[in-house]
Amino acid sequence: MAQAQFKVGVVGATGIAGQQFLSCLKDHPWFKVTALAASSRTAGKPYAEGIRQENGAAGWWAEGEVPAAYAGMSIQNSEAFDAASVDIVFTAMDSAPAKLLEPKYAATTPVISTASAFRMEADAPILIPGVNSAHSALLEQQRKNRGWKGFVTAQANCTTTGLAVSLAPLVREFGLKSLLMTSMQAVSGAGRAGGVLTLDSLDNIIPYIVGEEEKVQRELGKIFGSLQGGGIAPAGFGVSCTCTRAAVLEGHTESVFAGLGKPASLQAVKDAMAGFAPADIKALPTSPEGGRLIKVHDDPFRPQPRLDRDLGGGMVTSVGRLRQDPVLENGVKYMLVSHNTKMGAAKGAVLVAELLVTQGIIKGK
């Protein structure tokens, strides 16, 4: 187990996901934030001033107040940021700058990214610790391919993450043939710049999120795919999604219909989910208690995003309303709630870094 402290940099530190990184790293036993970077708009400013400038009214949006340790830290320009000055880089940027800057950082340093830029690169895994931990082997391949000392590993889209967690024990125990999912997603997923206006969300459902459905469909195949010939052969099940936005602050809710590979009783499905506690994540600092990634609710009025999103520090996927589905072959259906900016973004990325440390793939310099 890693005891030493790793120096980490957070790039894109002023946004919502960036703040979630700082919030979850402020008392981290292994990782110490020594560098903050963001766009040139706030470069050179103290962090507390930068977030005010970028976010207006709210400034610091995560729990409580901006941690004292960061308030006065000077924001570096992400374009000039020297990644070699840290052991790990966490990035929370838009896709376009991520595409340009993450390879630069990776030349010297491991990069854990919440952006989508690298998700579908052949030599980059989409790691969810405990779900497909072994895919990290691909990172050695990536180093070799690209001549980098570091690498880039991307988080799944926040909508994919909770869904993949809920499916993992089903895929393992029963196999999966088909999946139909409808999401009601929280507004925090859209961030602040380009965020969802009250004018659009109040007393309303927005039936479309550009690009989201394709992401979920592609990423699920890769996450449950198999390492093969220096890449990942996607899993063969069919996936079909409809992604919508609801007037919810945090926590994505998803209605899932799944056709399993073989018949399974509801009790067996429930036991598989409730018992899902991968051994390799149990001791990770950011892991929920006992590594139990799923809570199965018996109360039919759960899960609800407001009541359940923060379960296990926002790292537990809540599943409820488990029922047989009469339409799909070996069909089951359920609802899930997963915290989109914690497990689905920053804290999930920290969990990946913790896994890679225990796997020996991230080492101090």
Q: Which residues are catalytic?
A: 158, 252
Give the H/E segment covering residue 347. Answer: helix 346-358
> Applying CB under 8 A, does 208 fall inside the site for its own copies?
yes
Q: Figure out which of the listed residues 120, 233, 249, 266 binds its own copies, where binding follows CB under 8 A.
A: 249
> Applying CB under 8 A, does 304 fall inside the site for its own copies?
yes
Mask for 40-59, x = binds its own copies (CB under 8 A): ------------x---xxxx
State how far the Cα of 148 lies from the Cα of 100, in Å rounded to an integer: 15
> Applying CB under 8 A, does 72 fall inside the site for its own copies?
no
| Distance of closest approach, residue 112 Cβ to its own copies, in angstroms | 25
Residue 338 pairs in a beta bridge with 252
The stretch near its own copies (CB under 8 A) out of 33-41, 119-127, 266-274, 305-313 is 305-313
Q: Could you write out the three-class secondary structure of 14-63?
A: CCHHHHHHHHHHCCCCCEEEEEEEECCCCCCCEHHHHHHHHHCCCCCCCC
| Distance of closest approach, residue 281 Cβ to its own copies, in angstroms | 23
Is there a cis peptide before residue 169, judged by omega within 30 degrees of 0? no
Residues 307-326 binding its own copies (CB under 8 A) are 307, 320-321, 325-326
Looking at the Cβ atoms of 1 and 57, the one nearer to its own copies is: 57
Q: Figure out which of the listed residues 1, 4, 199, 279 binds its own copies, where binding follows CB under 8 A.
A: 199
State how far the Cα of 217 lies from the Cα of 220, in Å rounded to an integer: 6
> Applying CB under 8 A, does 62 fall inside the site for its own copies?
no
- Strand, coil or helix: what is 11? strand
Looking at the Cβ atoms of 108 and 242, the one nearer to its own copies is: 242
| Distance of closest approach, residue 299 Cβ to its own copies, in angstroms | 7
Could you give the count of Cα atoms lying within 13 Å of 124 in the half-sphere of its Cβ? 24
Nearest to 335 by CA among 196, 229, 181: 181
> Applying CB under 8 A, does 266 fall inside the site for its own copies?
no
State how far the Cα of 361 lies from the Cα of 355, in Å rounded to an integer: 9
State how far the Cα of 341 lies from the Cα of 345, in Å rounded to an integer: 5
> Applying CB under 8 A, does 229 fall inside the site for its own copies?
no
Backbone angles phi, psi at 14, to 5 degrees: -90, -15
Find where tokens 């710049």 sit. 193
Residues 88-107 binding its own copies (CB under 8 A) are none
The stretch near its own copies (CB under 8 A) out of 29-37, 247-255, 272-280, 357-365 is 247-255
| Distance of closest approach, residue 235 Cβ to its own copies, in angstroms | 14
Looking at the Cβ atoms of 99 and 333, the one nearer to its own copies is: 333
| Whole-angstrom Cα Rg for the chain | 20
Fill in the DSSP letter of residue 348.
Answer: H
The stretch near its own copies (CB under 8 A) out of 98-106, 154-162, 175-183, 260-268 is 175-183
Backbone angles phi, psi at 294, to 5 degrees: -130, 135
State how far the Cα of 233 lies from the Cα of 221, in Å rounded to an integer: 8
Looking at the Cβ atoms of 190 and 361, the one nearer to its own copies is: 190
Q: Figure out which of the listed residues 1, 4, 80, 202 binds its own copies, where binding follows CB under 8 A.
A: 202
Nearest to 220 by CA among 232, 208, 203: 232
- Strand, coil or helix: what is 316? coil
| Distance of closest approach, residue 262 Cβ to its own copies, in angstroms | 18
Q: Are 8 and 89 in contact (CB under 8 A)?
A: yes
Q: Are 208 and 247 in contact (CB under 8 A)?
A: no
| Distance of closest approach, residue 339 Cβ to its own copies, in angstroms | 13
Looking at the Cβ atoms of 100 and 249, the one nearer to its own copies is: 249
Q: Figure out which of the listed residues 239, 272, 343, 355 binds its own copies, where binding follows CB under 8 A.
A: 239
Looking at the Cβ atoms of 129 and 303, the one nearer to its own copies is: 303
Residues of this chain that interact with its own copies (CB under 8 A) are: 16, 52, 56-59, 61, 178-180, 182, 184, 187-188, 192, 195-208, 238-240, 242, 244, 246-249, 253, 255, 257, 299-307, 320-321, 325-328, 331, 333, 335
